[in-house]
Structure 1
């Protein structure tokens, strides 16, 4: 009973984090595979780190966007008329951009720096460097994105 109440109170945040994790998992493994292949084409650790990050975003952003829309599409329609609420859509997009701008900047910098440093050390495989750097950067990212979403009031408290 109490768990159900707690879930209902924080349902939007739970679904938001679920979407982050699902899209992040796809990007995580795709990035690990990509960095391994890229390392066979080029020995430049900095370009490997940056190109892998870009590749991960190409996977992550569309998946997250789609999942977020699926979980929240009811919020973007007027209940009385059934028409799209474009003001709500614009407002939420602005809030998401604000929250993601901060957290993604921190994620990107920490991911590239960690990835680059691990590649330079050279004692583990490139795919492992990607996985380690992503894991550490994701922990930081998840903390910052949740604080940011709360700060911009993306979800109304019930």
Structure 2
């Protein structure tokens, strides 16, 4: 299935470049008895439903033109945003999130918790520094990088 993903990435790139979007991810998965091709796109300021429809229409047309068909089975095409609480999957995405409100899950407890939500103030090779005024006397926490299981953007309530 990685062939499908790689082919779709190549086909969608010029479409996204033309509209100043960027590719967040592509997945091709079987769920509930059907195949789903999911293309996650983004742009500065976020994407709209109209943006997703535009990319879906253009991508569908381009995929239909390919011969041989890279996806011979029936599938559903879904184009969407990665979401407001998108995962921060790598160093570059973490760096972009400095100053943003995030959620960090840990492999083991730190200060009695395995999860922290707050503003990412800084990061380096050794630690993340987060701040949240709801944490009382200790509004800043330093999280060793080797304890971080996953991180994502979060919505502040």
Question: TM-score under structure 2 normalisation?
Answer: 0.29
More relative contact order in 1 or in 2 (CA 8 Å, sep 6+)?
A: 1
Structure number having the greater helix percentage: 1
Which has more radius of gyration? 2
Structure number having the greater strand percentage: 2
